[in-house]
Chains A and B, each alone.
Chain A
Amino acid sequence: MFGSESGYNAHAVRLGILTALTGVVCFAADYTPAAVEAGKAQFLDACAACHGTNGEGGFGPSLVDGREVRRADDEQLFKSIQQGVSGADMPPFSFPDEQIWNLVGFVRSLSAPAVESNVDGDAAAGEALFFGAGGCVGCHRIRGRGGLLGPDLSVIGSSRRIDQILEALLDPNARITAGFAAATLDGNVRAVVKNHTNFSAQVLDSSGRLHLLRGDELERLRFEGESWMPRDVATRLEDHLVRDLVAFLSRQAAR
């Protein structure tokens, strides 16, 4: 089973191989790999306690989803590190300028969008796979074309890193996108839960009906504990097809 420990490890290894095969460039264009590596080491020493070792946040905000980081230019990031962030718990850091620039380079790499990476695959073949035999379009949508039970991928290339796309393909339940937890409605209708509390739920079914459930209505809902994303992509698709698919998806960028 995919969810078993051995299965997970196998796919994690494959993820690593594919990452290498696709020639991923996960650092910002303006910084050398050495600078980014140096920044990473320093990040682990000084920043990980709040922002998490992978930058996904904890006590401090996530630096991975890109919005905060991409809105700031390099000088603003530099200043945030050097002077801290007023009104927040981010303290000033008195590192030499060069080390702060290395940190800026690493922080940029955390949200480096896939579209900026050099993906070694056939995007046209990936597109054919996405809209054809791969069956992706049954759940996912790009520019208005596709299904409802998976996240819209119209701008996936500008909103996710390349390794995040790979992980979603090969290990889909490692993290489930908010609003796409799988559920079954009334025992037989496939749906995703957009949001829920103990008092209400907002549920979209596969036919495009939105169910705004209240109180006892929640009993109509059974959570599946994972997403609807097939767990066998890694075994079903050969490596070159995964590369093609990633090449296509990484080109789906805003505007």
Chain B
Amino acid sequence: MRLLLCALVLSAAAIGQIDEAAILEGAGDDWLTYSGDYASLRHSSLDQINRENVGSLVTKWVYHVPGARRLETTPLVYDGVMYLTNTNELHALDAGTGRRIWTYVAEAPRRAQNRGAALWGDAVFFLAADCHLVKLDRLTGALIWTREFASYEEGYYTSLAPLIVKGQVLVGTAGGGTGQRGFVAALSTDTGEELWRFWTVPAEGEPGSETWGGFPSKWGGAPTWTTGSYDPELNLIYWPTGNPWPDFYGGRRRGDNLYSNSVLALDADTGEMKWYFQFTPHDTHDWDANEQLVLVDREYNGEMRKLMLHADRNGFYYLLDRETGEYLQATRFVERLDWATGIDESGRPIEVPGLEPTPAGVKVCPSVRGATNWMSPSINPEIGLLYVVTLEMCDIYTGSAKEPVPSSGFRGGGSQQIPSEPGQFYLRALDSLSGEIRWEYKMTGPATMWAGTVSTAGGLVFTGDDDGALVALDARTGEALWHFSMGNTLYASPMTFTADGKQYVTIATANDVFTFGLFSD
């Protein structure tokens, strides 16, 4: 009878509509947007799986994605249906059984990975690698329309999960490594029509263009390849940007290179920039600031503040006032950090001279992969800890003063690993206000993974680890309570949801999607 009731409830609910109010409820039974909610908390209110019973988690189902080589998807779940992506593909599954309901394959070049889809109304959206927004009927996978928002032929491609705000699909691009000028664009969920666009590199003569030393804006880079956050009360969208081009040589783009390696606060209706904050001015180490932007309201120095938390690839953990963009503080969260001695009162790094990449090579920490990267952090708001996957590693950086050739693959240099100093991954729990490391979980493995985290009200934080396992840790202490080795490299972040009234945890490996539930269920 229980099964019958579940089936009836699902079928009745399946005709519901997904709107802003539903997404604002946050991650619980459903997981409706890339980071679980608009604030990018990646914290679920589910507690069926908790510290007491997590030891009895077992594999419930595995879904193989044919041809996949590097799944980076965070699945979405609505009303018992899971939506996950591979490059140019969207798969809809019965979330309780892992059985496929439909698959849509876009005929597009297999250029990039894909990190996920977006739900709105009765549709599901995702981005084909060649910068086409695809709108599908959520139930059937039937194509409604596709809209091109950037030219693949000009070197643009895309990999991110779109964010839907106020009936607008917010999209961004990759391609910064070959110079393509980044932007955030809002496309209508109804028609795909472009409603506004904000370029991340100012055009010649616009404010900020003076920070490029005459370098052409068209090839400034500053791509927008990860998913932003949204504050409906402030009506602001927050979007992070990547490095300026050429990545490793800055001699032809003297200045801070706005708005690369920054967070942009954009009016949600118009795209007008309200403020920006640049984490790494004049970057020459490929330290994109595309890491997630976590929005919380907390008391700070005796005053309630609307905060933005950001652990940056450059090795510093930042607190900003997200209403004004005011810099509040920054602390280092890795040991291997030598490019700056700290951050000054204005938020600008105090750089150590002589660490720009050279033709002969110079050792700099963190490595090109960063102290962290796009692997998702999560926060437990009750405990106040931010969980950040962290890489302790340095690289040898080389730079080239050759004339840059856009769209050629030229990056002005590169980096190489130091064989005697292999990288070391940790999951670190940062006090979200002070930045102090409260505990850390040291991983084993070859330092090749890109997996992130999810936090739950069950007092747990789940992380992918560097040896291909999903690990459940006590959110307060970091004690490892459960693990399961999936035997493959992880490039995705876990999430959690309910189907048939039961909580599950899902993570994608390179080519399979694993889902776990309690043995007793």
Contact = CB atoms under 8 A, between A and B. Distances in A.
Interface of A: 67, 70-71, 141, 143-144, 146, 148, 152, 154-155, 158-159, 179, 194-197, 199-200, 202, 204-205, 208-217, 254-255
A255 B134 CA distance: 10
Contacts of B137: 141, 144, 152
A154 B142 contact: yes
Interface in B377-413: none
Given A204-B140, A210-B14, A254-B107, A179 B500 contact: no
Contact of B101 (A141, A202, A254): A202
A204 B6 CA distance: 16
30 contacts: A70-B107, A141-B142, A144-B145, A152-B141, A154-B142, A194-B102, A195-B99, A195-B100, A197-B99, A200-B94, A202-B97, A205-B11, A209-B15, A210-B11, A210-B79, A210-B81, A211-B10, A212-B6, A212-B7, A212-B10, A212-B11, A212-B94, A212-B500, A213-B7, A214-B6, A214-B7, A214-B96, A217-B3, A254-B146, A255-B132
A146 B140 CA distance: 12
Interface residues of B, number: 37
A217 B99 contact: no
Nearest to A68: B67
Most buried by A among B6, B14, B80, B140: B140
Given A209-B15, A211-B7, A214-B7, A202 B143 contact: no
Contact of B97 (A143, A200, A211): A200
Interface string B131-172: 010010101111111101000000000000000000000000
Contact of B139 (A146, A148, A159, A214): A148
A172 B110 CA distance: 33
Contacts of A197: 97, 99
B107 A217 contact: no
Given A158-B107, A194-B100, A204-B140, 11 more contacts: A144-B145, A194-B101, A194-B102, A195-B100, A208-B14, A209-B12, A211-B10, A212-B81, A212-B94, A212-B96, A217-B4
Most buried by B among A67, A148, A210: A210
Nearest to B95: A212
Contacts of B97: 197, 199-200, 202, 212, 214
Contacts of A212: 6-7, 10-11, 80-81, 94, 96-97, 499-500
Contacts of A202: 94, 97, 99-101
A216 B142 contact: no
Contact of A143 (B3, B80, B94, B145): B145
B140 A214 contact: no
Contact of A208 (B10, B15, B132): B15
B273 interface: no
A251 B107 CA distance: 16
Contact of B140 (A141, A143, A155, A195): A141
Contacts of A179: 101-102
Contacts of A154: 142-144
B139 A208 contact: yes
B106 interface: yes
B468 to A, nearest CB: 21
- By Cβ-Cβ distance, the 8 closest A-B pairs, closest first, are A152-B142, A144-B144, A154-B143, A210-B14, A214-B3, A200-B97, A194-B101, A141-B142
B234 interface: no
Contact of A204 (B99, B139, B144, B148): B139
A210 B110 contact: no
Contacts of A204: 101, 139-140
B112 to A, nearest CB: 15
B20 to A, nearest CB: 22
Interface in B71-109: 79-81, 94, 96-97, 99-102, 105-107
Contacts of B499: 212
Interface string B118-138: 000000000000001001010
A209 B14 contact: yes
A214 B141 contact: no
B75 to A, nearest CB: 16
Given A70-B107, A158-B107, A200-B99, A215 B11 contact: no
Contacts of B107: 70, 155, 158-159, 254-255
Contact of A67 (B7, B11, B105): B105
A255 B10 contact: no
A202 B101 CA distance: 6
Nearest to B61: A200
A152 B140 contact: yes
Most buried by B among A67, A197, A211, A213: A213
Contacts of B10: 210-212
A195 B94 contact: yes
A254 B140 contact: no
Nearest to B147: A255
A143 B135 CA distance: 9
B139 A210 contact: yes
A234 B102 CA distance: 29
A87 B65 CA distance: 18
Nearest to A254: B107
A214 B500 contact: yes
Nearest to B107: A254
Contacts of A70: 107
Contacts of A214: 3, 6-7, 96-97, 500
A209 B140 contact: no
Nearest to B500: A214
Nearest to A209: B11
A76 to B, nearest CB: 13
A194 B81 CA distance: 13
A50 to B, nearest CB: 19
Contacts of B3: 214-217
B497 to A, nearest CB: 14
A155 to B, nearest CB: 6
A53 B438 CA distance: 66
Contacts of B99: 195-197, 200, 202
Given A179-B102, A208-B15, A255 B96 contact: no
Contacts of B132: 255
A121 B146 CA distance: 27
B209 to A, nearest CB: 35
B501 to A, nearest CB: 11
Most buried by A among B3, B10, B11, B12: B11
Contacts of B110: 71
Interface in B428-475: none
A210 B78 CA distance: 12
Interface in B6-65: 6-7, 10-12, 14-15
